[in-house]
C-alpha cells in the first residue's frame, strides 16, 4: 500500500501533473472512474453481477476500472495526508458501534 502511494505520486510528479491534482479535481476524477465502474454493472441482474469475473472480457474491464478507482483514491488520500487503510479501519469501528451485531443481523435498513 505504501509502495502504491509512492508509485502513484512518482507517476504524477514525473509528468508534472501535481498542478492538476487538487483534492477538488481528484475527487472529480474519482467520481468519473466510479461512473465507468458502475456502468459495467448497470444492466446485469444481481446474479449476473456476481458471476462477472468468469467472463474474460467483462472481468478484465472490471479489474481495470477498479484499478483506476484505487489509483485516484490513493492519490487523493496522499494529497490530503490521509492514511487510506487507517481511515477505513476507523470508520469501520464507528460503524460497528452504530450497527451492533444483534440489532443489524440480516437487516438492510442501512446496508
Task: Name residues contacting a second copy, limited to 57-96 (CB under 8 A).
Answer: 62-64, 66-71, 73-74, 76-77, 79-82, 84-85, 87-92, 94-96
Closer to a second copy by Cβ: residue 43 or 56: 43
**Is 79 within 8 Å of 23 (Cβ atoms)?**
yes
**Is 9 within 8 Å of 75 (Cβ atoms)?**
yes
Instruction: Return the residues of window 17-36 that contact a second copy according to CB under 8 A.
Output: 17, 19-20, 22-25, 27-36
* Closest of 69, 84, 72 to residue 11, by C-alpha: 72
- Contact with a second copy (CB under 8 A) among 41, 56, 57, 97: 41
- Closest approach, Cβ 106 to a second copy, in A, equals 4
- Residue 98 binds a second copy (CB under 8 A): no
Residue 76 burial by CB count (10 A; 0-12/13-18/19+): exposed, middle or buried?
buried
Amino acid at each position: 500500500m505504501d509502495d502504491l502511494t509512492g508509485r502513484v505520486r512518482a507517476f504524477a510528479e514525473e509528468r508534472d501533473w501535481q498542478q492538476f491534482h487538487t483534492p477538488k479535481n481528484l475527487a472529480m476524477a474519482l467520481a468519473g472512474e466510479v461512473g465507468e465502474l458502475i456502468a459495467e454493472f448497470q444492466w446485469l441482474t444481481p446474479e449476473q453481477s456476481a458471476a462477472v469475473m468468469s467472463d474474460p472480457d467483462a472481468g478484465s474491464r472490471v479489474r481495470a476500472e477498479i484499478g483506476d478507482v484505487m489509483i485516484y483514491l490513493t492519490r487523493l488520500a496522499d494529497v490530503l495526508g490521509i492514511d487510506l487503510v487507517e481511515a477505513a479501519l476507523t470508520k469501520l469501528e464507528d460503524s460497528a458501534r452504530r450497527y451492533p451485531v444483534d440489532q443489524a443481523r440480516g437487516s438492510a435498513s442501512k446496508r
